[in-house]
Structure 1
Amino acid sequence: MSLADLRGSLPEYAKDLRLNLDSVLTEGGAPGLTQKQIAVIALASAIASRYEPLTEAVAEEAAKHASAEELNGARAAAAIMGMNNVYYRFLHLVGDEEYSTLRAGLRMNVMANPGGDKIDFELASLAVSAINGCGKCLESHEKTLRKHGLSAQPIQSAVRIASVVHAVAVALEQAKAAG
């Protein structure tokens, strides 16, 4: 099923999501981001949202704007943040500083060489961290993006993409379950 088909299958109560999806997946609706960055962020967000039909449709659309290597960078961001968001959210929520002194012992080599552009990987990691609710990772990726010269606008755009893609996944899954 294409992204247009999925968009059209959103129930009437999710009309705002349909309109927002049309918007945030364009450069005009995601200020500060290129179409390639939008594609990478959308794919990582769809993977993190865990609704396979949406992931497949977003991947098909993303392939029009990003190379296979860049799309694998999005997949890498979703994968590594799936691990990091759980671990670092634990550190944050437990609040016991002793855990921060312990070695994490988790391999994260992909963060140094994500296969695509480092900024795109950071934007995708930020988006996935927003979906997964990890404040520590959000803070870290936002600071890294700012150090690389990004303003608030493209960072906000990345999180807006994540929020809409995630909400679309939730609505589509609910509509499927309701029959």
Structure 2
Amino acid sequence: MDMLQLRDAIPSYAKDVWITLDGALNRSGLAPEVAAAAGIAAAISAGSPQLVEAFQGLTTEAEATAAKTAAAIMGMTNIWYSYLELADDAELKTQPPQIRMQAYATHGGVEKKHFEIYTLAASIVGKCRGCVTGHIAELKKLGITAAELRDIGKLAAAVNATSKLIKLS
């Protein structure tokens, strides 16, 4: 699925979703290839292979691979840390998660700031409070602005909504 097919797959009653997604990809504080890769991470978290395919042509192979790596890791950690929050068990919280995250140390092969953007996009869709706040804090250390954080959140929200809409078409 390319972007034109994606646009056509969104029902007319959801025009606002398309306009938001298009703006997040093409008119935000994020470089277009970074926004597209963040879209890949969010699309994987939303379970939408069609969106992954659509966004992949808008970024580099390195950024796409890093976004996929970020989403894979966040697929585990979003659940783990949400589980800890839901369990609210002091003893359980002392246990190491024993979740392998070696790729996190290498930033998936791209600039650390980009990788953090991808982990944040995936975590927003994954609805993990601890991961979202942790990645925002790290991105602030890396110099990201509030407007860029807004754009990542807007992108994740639009990707999540789009994934649901294209499942209906």
User: Same fold per TM (> 0.5)?
Assistant: yes
Matching residue of 1:52: 49
What RMSD in Å do the two structures reach over aligned CA positions? 1.2
Partner of 2:105: 112
Equivalent residue number for residue 147 of structure 1: 141
Residue type of the partner of 1:150?
I
Structure-1 separation of matches of 2:51 and 2:145: 29
What is the alpha-carbon distance in structure 2 between the residues aligned to residue 151 and residue 55 of structure 1?
26
CA displacement at 1:60 relative to structure 2: 2.0
Structure 1 unaligned segments of length 5 or more: list them: none
Q: Does 1:40 align with 2:37?
A: yes
Which residue number in structure 2 is paired with residue 125 of structure 1?
Answer: 119
2:95 is the alignment partner of 1:102: yes
* CA–CA distance in structure 2, aligned partners of residues 53 and 103 of structure 1: 35
* Count of aligned positions: 168
Q: Give % identity.
A: 33
Instruction: Work out the CA distance in 1 between the residues paired with 2:38 and 2:49.
Output: 16
Q: TM-score, normalised by structure 2?
A: 0.94
Do 1:89 and 1:136's aligned partners in 2 also have CA atoms closer than 8 Å?
yes
Cα separation, 2, equivalents of 1:11 and 1:104:
42
Q: Which runs of 5+ in 2 are unaligned?
A: none
Deviating beyond 2 angstroms after TM superposition, the runs of 4 or more aligned structure 1 residues are: none
2:165 to 146, 171, 178: 171
Letter of the structure 1 residue corresponding to residue 65 of structure 2:
N
